[in-house]
Amino acid sequence: MRHRRSFAFTALLVFTCTSIAWAQKEPSITTFDAPGAGTSPGQGTIALAINLQGEITGYYTDGGNLAHGFVRSPDGKILAINAPGATQGTFPAAINFAGEITGYYIDDNSVAHGFVRRFDGSVVPFDADGAGTGQFEGTFPNDIGVDGSIVGYYLDASLGMHGFLRNPDGTLVTLDDPSAGTGAFLGTFATAIDPEGTIVGCYLDSSVLGWTFQRSRSGAYTTLTPPGGIGGYVGCGSTVFSVLPFNTTAINPVGVIAGTYFEPVADNLFGGNYRGFARVFKFESFWQPPSVDYITFDAVPSPSSPCCTWTFPVAINLAGEVVGYDNDFNGEDHGFVRDPQGEITVFDVPGAQGTVATSVNLFGVIAGYYGSGGVSHGFVRIP
């Protein structure tokens, strides 16, 4: 516990000092396209994750509608990533401090397989135990930890959804929240892992309602219910069928969790609001264990559209900055960043038709993607 507090305090000092230095500057946005990215609707570049060094990974769709992974170095150089056997596309999802990348690829039979790309460029494929081998089945990694641990989910032969943990030695553990449903497209969806082995994600119950969960290193599951979030929501995380990170849960290196919860509202056309939350620790004294508190927020004043609020946090960094997007229910998304003091800034890439912030590193550098004429492009926002 002392180590964790010391680590958090040091990070807070770093963040405070860099924030003071940046306070005199306006944020800048740099856009980019992977070489070979297509220029027709449904094609382009999708940036999904950034690490401490500023390396960015994601994927691009070429003119023939085939997806390729990429890694972009801080100086803007972009290298393509194609997993062996990826005849129907390579889709990186996350990158860690060491530059290791995880994601999935699709083979000739439309089956998904996980992979990890080492910092030396070698690609190691893997499949979760129990993963199906039919169309749209298989293994879908979502995050890679500092030690190389990987979490994600897999679809079995009955299209049931199960979370998984792949340890650094390659051994795999299936994760099933006790409250998760067991039918097709029901089950557990793991999205992120912290250095202590805490895993977060979402599960769909037998009523097809989604709930946020936390799994401790010892294997204990806890359903997270912020104040007012007494109802489940539709959908769990981004899937092979959706580019948008929907109802994704994030955790930072000191265990602070950010995500979406559903707030039921009577007589609301859509049943209620999708709101953001941060689950934080409150330290009353150095000698007492911390208590847990929830901070709830909306990216813009509620309601953000004619009917309701649609705030979707996607990532949180060590300093406690949360990024994600808000949907205005008029067909466009807008990126946002919430600082540790609670101030929220909504931003758009100039000229964009929808902006989605997908990741943020310790220095507040944000990666994401935006649309223009139906084509996607990557961006980097520097404080």
Taking only the tens place, the pLDDT of each residue in 125-140 is 999 999 999 998 999 9
The per-residue DSSP string of 227-296 comes to: TT--B-BS--S--TT-SS--S--EE-TTS-EEEEEEEE-TT-TTSEEEEEEEEEEE-S-TTSPPEEEEEE
Structural domain that includes position 100: 82-175
* Same domain membership, residue 232 and residue 169: no
Q: What one-character DSSP code corresponds to residue 15? A: H
* Same domain membership, residue 187 and residue 280: yes
Residue identified by tokens 């790309």 is: 117
pLDDT of residue 230: 61
Q: Residue 316 and residue 318: Cα distance in Å, rounded? A: 7
Per-residue pLDDT for 270 more than 80? no
Per-residue pLDDT for 89 more than 90? yes
- Given 3-state DSSP classes, what are the helix, strand and coil percentages for the chain, each rounded to the nearest 5? 5, 45, 50
* Same domain membership, residue 305 and residue 218: yes
In the structure, what pLDDT confidence band is assigned to residue 43 with cuts at 50, 70 and 90?
very high
pLDDT of residue 329: 73
Q: Residue 1 and residue 5: Cα distance in Å, rounded? A: 6
* Same domain membership, residue 327 and residue 247: yes
* Same domain membership, residue 216 and residue 342: yes
Taking only the tens place, the pLDDT of each residue in 16-38 is 444 444 445 789 999 999 999 99
pTM of the model: 0.90
Per-residue pLDDT for 15 more than 80? no
Q: Where among 152, 175, 198 does a domain terminate? A: 175
pLDDT of residue 190: 96
| Arithmetic mean of pLDDT over the chain | 88
More confident residue, 84 or 20: 84
Cβ partners under 8 Å of residue 136, min gap 6: 110, 112, 155, 159, 240
Q: What one-character DSSP code corresponds to residue 207? A: T
Find the mean pLDDT for residues 103-115.
97
Q: Where among 121, 150, 175 does a domain terminate? A: 175
Most confident of 6-10, 126-130, 269-273, 309-313: 126-130
In a domain, 155, yes or no: yes
In the structure, what pLDDT confidence band is assigned to residue 142 with cuts at 50, 70 and 90?
very high
In a domain, 72, yes or no: no
Total domain count for the chain?
Answer: 2
pLDDT of residue 361: 97
